[in-house]
């Protein structure tokens, strides 16, 4: 891997593109990679498409993690959206806006992190764009495919089981630690820097007749609220079904907060939460945490949750 010197202004737009394009080894499905007006990617039907934006100071801070960490986070968040539809990511297109004073190596390491995360699914970064801006902004568009009809937010039915796959609360606890100027427990800080979305669990859920699904990016209760509204149902979460890991308990004790709140309201782990017919056995690595009933809204143990339920933009 190359070591870049100087800033983006010194390296130039096309120098940066040339440097990072060498990282993006095309996979079998990529017919034409970076270097032309568009990439050409072979897809089956349907094609899943999603875009995520990451703005410095709002979604990440350079002093909280290395550029490779930011790359992993950005790619993971985008690819988890495809998993939440029951699919697998195939290709990513990345836009980078940054000040000319940004070290060129930072941008290069960002691309390395994205490439490494994409490789976990045998996906490829197939192109994108770079431009000058007053702050770092990263836009990731992901394309994917599915062997099953996409699982949307609109299909939950009364009587369904609510289940989750992946970690909950770890990244939220890590963010709480970082916001207070600390770097430990290391396990939760690392979870914030590099989430571990359960990519395989999305297709497994689709194959197991999941009726609705979403990735937990803004908070479990907030994201379940999207399913409840789209499906016109009520969802109740059972607190007894959550296991609070020791690092989360330690952060909760240190900060004087209930560690369960990290699991219920924290995002950025990109776990998956889905609803399944009660007659269907849950796939491996899925854990039941609640149920679907007639009505509206999301409750915890039959009562409204007191406090903020998750992240909301523009607030």
In a domain, 308, yes or no: no
Domain stops at, among 90, 118, 145: 145
Note whether 172 and 89 are same-domain residues.
Answer: no
Distance, CA of 275 to CA of 114 (rounded, Å): 30
In a domain, 231, yes or no: yes
**What digits encode the pLDDT tens for the residues 170-184?**
999 999 999 999 999
Note whether 110 and 176 are same-domain residues.
Answer: no
Beta bridge partners of 98: 132
Contact (CB, 8 A) for 217 and 267 = yes
**What digits encode the pLDDT tens for the residues 87-122?**
999 999 999 999 999 999 999 999 999 999 999 999
Residue 209: give its domain's CATH number: 3.90.650.10
Q: Whole-prediction pTM value?
A: 0.89
In whole angstroms, what separates CA 145 from the centre of its chain?
A: 17
Q: How confident is the model at residue 34 (pLDDT cuts 50, 70, 90)?
A: confident
**What digits encode the pLDDT tens for the residues 277-315?**
999 999 999 999 999 999 999 999 999 999 888 877 656
In a domain, 200, yes or no: yes
Note whether 86 and 165 are same-domain residues.
Answer: no
Distance, CA of 19 to CA of 97 (rounded, Å): 16
Contact (CB, 8 A) for 39 and 91 = yes
Locate tokens 């330690």: which residue? Answer: 250
Note whether 170 and 259 are same-domain residues.
Answer: yes
In whole angstroms, what separates CA 223 from the centre of its chain?
A: 13
Cα–Cα nearest to 238, from 263, 206, 204:
263
Q: Which is it for the CA torsion 34, 40, 41, 46, positive or negative?
A: positive
Per the model's pLDDT, the better-predicted residue between 39 and 253 turns out to be 253
Exposure string (b/e) for 170-196, b if CB count within 10 Å is 16 or more?
bbbbbbbbbeeeeeebebbbbbbbbbb
Distance, CA of 83 to CA of 214 (rounded, Å): 9
Note whether 139 and 176 are same-domain residues.
Answer: no
| Domain of residue 220, residue span | 161-300
Domain stops at, among 94, 111, 145: 145
Distance, CA of 212 to CA of 227 (rounded, Å): 7
pLDDT of 42 over the 90 cut: no
Contact (CB, 8 A) for 219 and 227 = no
Q: Number of H helices and number of E strands within the chain? A: 10, 12
In a domain, 314, yes or no: no
In a domain, 168, yes or no: yes
In a domain, 155, yes or no: no
3-state secondary structure of 125: strand
Domain stops at, among 120, 145, 170: 145
Count other Cβ atoms within 10 Å, centred on residue 62.
15
């Amino acid at each position: 891997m190359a070591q870049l010197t100087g800033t983006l202004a010194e390296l130039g737009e096309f120098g940066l593109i040339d440097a990072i394009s060498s990282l993006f080894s095309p996979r079998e499905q990529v017919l034409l990679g970076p270097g032309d007006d568009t990439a050409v990617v072979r897809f089956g039907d349907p094609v899943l498409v999603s875009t995520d934006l990451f703005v410095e100071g709002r979604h990440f801070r350079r002093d909280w993690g290395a550029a490779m960490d930011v790359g992993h986070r950005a790619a993971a968040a985008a690819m988890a959206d495809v998993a939440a539809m029951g699919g697998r990511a195939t290709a990513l297109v990345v836009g980078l806006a940054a000040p000319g004073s940004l070290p060129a190596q930072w941008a290069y390491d960002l691309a390395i992190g994205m490439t490494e995360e994409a490789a976990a699914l045998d996906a490829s970064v197939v192109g994108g764009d770079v431009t000058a801006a007053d702050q770092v902004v990263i836009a990731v568009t992901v394309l994917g495919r599915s062997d099953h009809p996409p699982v949307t937010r609109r299909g939950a039915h009364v009587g369904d089981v609510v289940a989750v796959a992946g970690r909950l609360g770890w990244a939220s606890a890590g963010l709480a630690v970082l916001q207070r100027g600390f770097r430990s427990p290391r396990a939760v800080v690392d979870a914030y820097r590099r989430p571990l979305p359960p990519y395989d669990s999305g297709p497994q859920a689709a194959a197991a007749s999941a009726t609705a699904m979403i990735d937990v990016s803004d908070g479990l209760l907030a994201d379940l609220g999207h399913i409840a509204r789209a499906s016109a149902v009520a969802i109740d979460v059972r607190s007894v079904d959550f296991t609070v890991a020791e690092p989360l308990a330690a952060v909760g004790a240190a900060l004087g907060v209930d560690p369960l709140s990290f699991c219920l309201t924290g995002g950025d782990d990109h776990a998956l939460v889905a609803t399944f017919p009660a007659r269907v056995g849950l796939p491996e690595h899925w854990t039941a945490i609640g149920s679907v009933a007639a009505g509206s809204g999301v409750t915890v143990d039959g009562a409204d949750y007191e406090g903020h339920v998750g992240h909301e933009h523009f607030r």
